[in-house]
A and B are shown apart, each in its own frame.
Chain A
Amino acid sequence: MTYIEQDMQRFRAIVRGKIKENLRKYVSNHELIGRQGRDLVSIPVPQLDLPRFTFGKVGSGGVGQGSGEPGDPLGPPQPGDGAGEAGDQPGQHILEVELSLDELVQILAEELELPRIQPKGNQNVESEIARYTDIRRVGPESLRHFKRTYREALKRQLASGTYDPKNPVIIPIRDDRRYRSFVRKPTPEANAVIVYMMDVSGSMGEREKRLVRTTAFWIDAWLKTNYHRVTRRYIVHDATAAEVDEETFYRLRQSGGTKISSALELCHRLLLAHYPVADWNIYLFQFSDGENFEQDNRVALELLREQLLPMANLYCYGQVNDLHYRDTFIDALNRLDAPDNLVSTRIPDEEAIYQALKVFLGKGR
């Protein structure tokens, strides 16, 4: 191992240590929602930087150049050379570490001791970045292929007769731009489908939905690191169920009664129609405040036991309320002599999400 690798590992170990100390806080932070696996998330890591006697932002400034009137805001500094000298913006010490969401999820998984999932089936073809050997028409300016761009511009000007050998000025337009790009190499991958089911009856408020959303975000993130391709379907129900898109799933508010079985039934039809068990890893997550009619509990349990549990890698039920009614759906589940791909937990508040993830995903199925 080279020196730089040692230093890098040390750095990562320190970062991980600091992140683990604060992990619960990140997990219940719903601001991360919407990030994708390779997206960088800025994690404020306390005490990772080397503090100094230095100036704060207030009263500080610098010298810049360009047009503008006094009072105009400056644009954000361009990424690139981080020259920390004159004219640079002061106070840019990194208190935040940039991690990709994937890395954060890995740390979470370590801390929750989540086992690696053993996928079944194998059909989709995914791809990986191999090398920057390709040329494209779009890309970041830093990857602009200068000569190719000019060659395109020259070709266009020759073709359109605007090239003058006496005054050989070539001006590329947007269509002429060419950028370096990478080639992907295909690798076969297993795939997964997640079906989220949520109760949107009158008793499910904004707070409850946010709990569902934050929990679902981490579930997505974890499954995505295990499967390259994750398909998600969303079902909402009150006394009847319907399939919706993701946005509607979290936004929709109904009123009316609750029939948990209606969602399970629709879910079952969906799986039969599109996701044969042999090819798909199937994950079912259901969220409700648990106030279900007793006779519907029976129907729902029947559906689970006979149809869904045999098909699914995992069925998780999260009960998102902080009230303790007697005989809610979770109690009915707990009385069931359940196979071990059924798990359930209460998620009364954001604090509980961390533990819920451990319960849901700790099976490695």
Chain B
Amino acid sequence: MINVALPEELQRINQEVEGYARAVGLDFPEVRFIMLDFQQMNQVAAYSGFPTRYPHWRFGMEYERLRKSYAWGLHRIYEMVINTDPCYAYLLASNLPTDQKLVMAHVYAHADFFKNNLWFAHTNRRMLDEMANHATRIRRYIDKYGLDEVETFIDRCLSLENLIDLHSPGIRRRPGRLPETEDEEPFVARLPSKGYMDRYINPPEFLAALRQQHEEKKRKAQGQSPAYPQRDVLLFLLENAPLAAWQQDVLAIIREEAYYFAPQRQTKILNEGWATYWHSHIMTRYALKDSELIDYADHHAGTLASSPGRLNPYKLGVELLRDIEDRWNRGAFGPEYEECDDQQARANWDRQLGLGRQKLFEVRRIYNDVGFIDTFLTPEFARRHKLFTYRYNPRTRQYEIESRSFEDIKRQLLFNLTNFGEPIIDVVDANYQNRGELYLLHHWEGVDLRMDYAQATLENLQAIWGRPVHIETMKEDKGPIILSFDGERHSSQVLGKQRRAA
């Protein structure tokens, strides 16, 4: 990482903004700013902020996308900041000083969030170096085994990268995998024979059957079936799938990076809301000069723009934080307030507690998006901000506004946020039907899996597991169903009543 010194003017601005950020109570590690031009910014963004990552085509795809949309004037990335210590943040060289000031204030709040939010407690703050190590190892495998081989395997792993357990970020890989075949008895079934008699003494199909029995016994001895459902499918594969050493390493790398990025996806709304809250607070109270007002207003409005049907996480986050601050300042919380059903009284409620700011710092420490929405979204808020739910209508082939009821809105938001709005899936059996087949269970909550993707993902899973694989899910029109792939053919079976206990 080349560390370009900031031009003098920006250094001055930086010192000023850092001073304000500390003064308002933000707590962050050292932040290093790096100036980039558009092209470099798009490059770094394609690697999610880590220019040192391993080679893969999807980064190239992302870069193309960013480059094109910049060329068409559709978007610009103003800031990027990564969760490391020291914390690195990238500034766009072509921004006006006003913009840089705003971005710096924004970045300091992010850095405070990374350091203090509980969901980040387990993340590796030396990830820049770690990513570089990953890249070195993967390049070595590419040199040794060929690009196609390694790339195909990475693609398979990435297809499964969302199958992790978000509630166990602290789990490291457990030791205790059985060593490979070194001290077990070798498989010998062949009887000594003369060449011309061999076919009779050692019939090939008989030998094959023996070998299968032996394998069976070995699998049983290892007791592979998970004792309880495992949500960390990647870890399960790491410990149990028949992988070469390099493949294990690649899978471990993909898994580690998935866990590293998970908290950022879990706290997007809160984290962006927090940063937006502080940049506007710092700018409007302290840092803004008269001449900068219009540019600031424009940029700030751009950040918070929302288009129909899309919820801007920056806007939702900052509005909800302001609402919390206001309510805790007024004391508009707790049993007495909750039980009051006089709208007028609730709106004018003021106990002069002044606990707002303190509450915000507490929220930023302990919540992720799910808890944040679950705890603080109120009917008043949903009404004031004109929230609604929408749903895909297969008949008209478009998304349509569905409901403005608070319960529906809250349920839908939480559904979209829980597990990043991705299906919850466990490994429940690794020796299904006593044949060493892998059986996954999808906890269906009203939305069907996308079938073509599910089948393609099963193929990737099968390639890693080596034996047939199954996933049990539901379809709204058919009920419980098992999708299977045996390495050659896909099949599906409607279960009727014989569902496995979820």
Contact = CB atoms under 8 A, between A and B. Distances in A.
A12 B159 CA distance: 20
B68 A53 contact: no
A187 interface: no
B396 interface: yes
Given A56-B447, A66-B388, 20 more contacts: A3-B51, A6-B60, A7-B58, A9-B60, A50-B58, A53-B442, A62-B412, A63-B387, A63-B412, A64-B308, A64-B309, A64-B388, A65-B386, A73-B396, A78-B307, A83-B313, A86-B311, A89-B399, A146-B295, A180-B73
A186 interface: no
Given A4-B63, A86-B269, A53 B394 contact: no
Interface stretch (B1-9, B207-215, B323-331, B449-457): B449-457
Interface of B: 43, 46-47, 51, 55-61, 63-65, 68-69, 72-75, 147, 151, 155, 158-163, 265, 268-269, 294-295, 298, 306-313, 316, 369, 385-392, 394, 396, 398-404, 409, 412-413, 416-417, 420-423, 425, 442, 446-454, 456-457, 460, 471, 476
Nearest to A141: B73
Contact of A86 (B65, B147, B417): B417
A38 B389 CA distance: 38
A252 interface: no
A50 B154 CA distance: 10
Interface residues of A, number: 62
Q: Which 4 A-B pairs have the closest CB atoms?
A: A87-B311, A11-B60, A7-B60, A74-B309
A295 B454 CA distance: 65
Given A4-B46, A50-B58, A55 B309 contact: no
A75 B447 contact: no
Interface string A139-174: 110110011001000000000000000000000000
Interface in A66-106: 66-75, 77-83, 85-91, 93, 98
A81 B417 CA distance: 19
B391 A60 contact: yes
A10 B64 CA distance: 12
Contact of A50 (B159, B295, B412, B449): B159
Contacts of B457: 51-53
A166 B310 CA distance: 39
A182 to B, nearest CB: 10
B386 A73 contact: no
Interface of B is mostly: mixed
B204 to A, nearest CB: 37
Given A53-B471, A147-B294, A4 B60 contact: yes
A63 B413 contact: yes
Contact of B74 (A47, A68, A79): A79
Contacts of A33: none
Nearest to A14: B57
A55 B490 CA distance: 19
B71 to A, nearest CB: 9
B412 A72 contact: no
A339 interface: no
Nearest to B42: A4
A92 to B, nearest CB: 11
Contacts of A54: 162, 422-423, 449-450, 453
Interface in A19-72: 47, 50-72
Point out which of B56, B73, B420 has the most chain A C-beta atoms below 10 A from its C-beta. B73
Contacts of A180: 73
B74 A74 contact: no
Contact of B163 (A53, A82, A93): A53
Contact of A61 (B163, B390, B394, B448): B390
A73 B400 contact: yes
Nearest to A98: B68
Nearest to B397: A57
Contacts of A86: 268-269, 311, 313, 316, 369, 413, 416-417, 421
Nearest to A8: B60
A74 B295 contact: no
Given A52-B162, A53-B162, A59-B447, A6 B391 contact: no
Contacts of A77: 307, 309-310
B311 A63 contact: yes
B416 A10 contact: no
Contacts of A68: 308, 388, 401
Given A4-B46, A4-B59, A59-B446, A50 B155 contact: yes
Contacts of A74: 308-309, 390, 398-401
A90 B421 contact: yes
Nearest to B156: A50
26 contacts: A3-B55, A7-B56, A10-B55, A10-B57, A11-B58, A47-B456, A52-B160, A52-B162, A52-B422, A52-B453, A53-B422, A55-B423, A57-B392, A59-B446, A60-B391, A63-B387, A64-B389, A66-B308, A70-B401, A78-B307, A79-B74, A79-B75, A87-B311, A87-B416, A140-B74, A143-B73
A146 B402 CA distance: 37
A38 B265 CA distance: 35
A12 to B, nearest CB: 7
A216 B362 CA distance: 67
Interface in A310-365: none
A267 B148 CA distance: 54
Contacts of B160: 52
Nearest to B68: A98
B311 A62 contact: yes
A91 to B, nearest CB: 7
B201 to A, nearest CB: 48
B73 A142 contact: yes
B401 A53 contact: no
A105 B437 CA distance: 47
Given A55-B447, A146-B298, A140 B73 contact: yes
A325 B72 CA distance: 52
Nearest to A143: B73
Contacts of B60: 4, 6-12
A150 B402 CA distance: 40
Contacts of B442: 53
Given A4-B63, A86-B417, A88-B310, A55 B422 contact: yes
Contacts of B402: 61, 70
A80 B73 CA distance: 9
A182 B415 CA distance: 45
